[in-house]
Amino acid sequence: MAEQETNRLMALSDGMANAVEQAAGYTVLVNGRERLPSSGVAYSSDMILTADHALEREDEIQIILPDGSELSAQVAGRDPGTDLAVLRTEKTGLLPATRVEQPARVGQLVLAVGRPTSEGIQASLGVVSAVAGPVRTWRGGLLENYLRTDAIPYPGFSGGPLINVSGEMVGINTSGLSRGSSVAIPVGIAWGVAANLAEHGSLKRGYLGIRSQLVELSPEMQAALGRHQASGLLVIGVESASPASQGGLLVGDILVGLNGEAVAEHEELLARLAGEVVGKAAQIEVVRGGKPQVFTVNVGELPQQTPRRGGRRWRR
């Protein structure tokens, strides 16, 4: 009986070692700063997704693959706001990371994986401690959600994968978003940002041309909407000739949804206005005169801000 039980624990132990081995196959070393190298994951056969804050230069970035071979890489795109960057290199022969389908759950066993040295893969064990968000990061980005874990973030783990016990990527680890601790960006969000970075070089941010204020939705408004939603965004200003004004939004409308998803806070609106939605027609749901209405608005693009760090301007 006891032996059977220990054998099952041995199977779990072996399974976790297999999971780390699988992740090791798509986790690379990224050498883009003076001190400690960081980690990265294969995004495609010639692109690596990594943590932006660990790149202190744009060229002469060195990648070390799982087999020990060294490649040079260039920055294809970076988004300090979400602390993600995409590097382009020659064909690595790596398969892209396997991604989880299901959203992360609090309590789920996870492993933080990194390759901060050429001596081999490294890992630490923990659980998903919290799934939180939306949040505006201190670097100015918006994350619809993010993960916290108690797995030890060893030095150089930023940019490496947080995986489940089957070796699938749950998120990408970074210590660059919350000072003094480590968070993981869910893999779905990270891949979305990466797609934009790979194509445009930076994350596009959408622009509607409204000023708004958080307001509670009355039970009658929620009944009219047909869903429980505690709050919305009262439009208190519409810029002339802006996408919002051209789409027909008026001062006094309460914005409650975008493209079929509820918008209950400013952070949610900003998070939903980033990336693919920019430059396209979006369905904006508002409550006007107590009744829900949908307007089509062509989302504009905010000019890129010049990110700063340590007083140094980045070249673009």
| DSSP line for 76-96 | EEEETTTTEEEEEES---PPP
Which residue, 41 or 225, has its beta carbon nearer to other proteins?
41
Distances (CA, A) of 38 to 118, 240, 293: 11, 46, 48
231 in catalytic set: no
Which residue, 170 or 270, has its beta carbon nearer to other proteins?
170
Minimum separation from the CB atom of position 167 to other proteins (A): 6
Minimum separation from the CB atom of position 28 to other proteins (A): 15
141: phi then psi, degrees, rounded to nearest 5: -95, 175
Which residue is it, tokens 């060294």?
70
- Which parts of 166-290 are beta strand (E)? 169-178, 181-186, 206-207, 210-216, 231-238, 254-258, 261-262, 281-288
CA distance 185 to 22: 20
14 in catalytic set: no
53 in catalytic set: yes
Which residue, 24 or 28, has its beta carbon nearer to other proteins?
24
Catalytic, out of 38, 39, 46, 158 = 158
Which residue, 24 or 282, has its beta carbon nearer to other proteins?
24
Q: For binding to other proteins (CB under 8 A), which residues are involved? A: 2-3, 5-6, 8-22, 24-26, 95-96, 98, 111, 117, 119-125, 151-152, 154, 164-168
- Contact indicator for 168, 96 with CB cutoff of 8 Å: no
Catalytic, out of 46, 52, 79, 83 = 83
Catalytic, out of 38, 39, 46, 53 = 53
Minimum separation from the CB atom of position 142 to other proteins (A): 29
Query: Active-site positions?
Result: 53, 83, 158
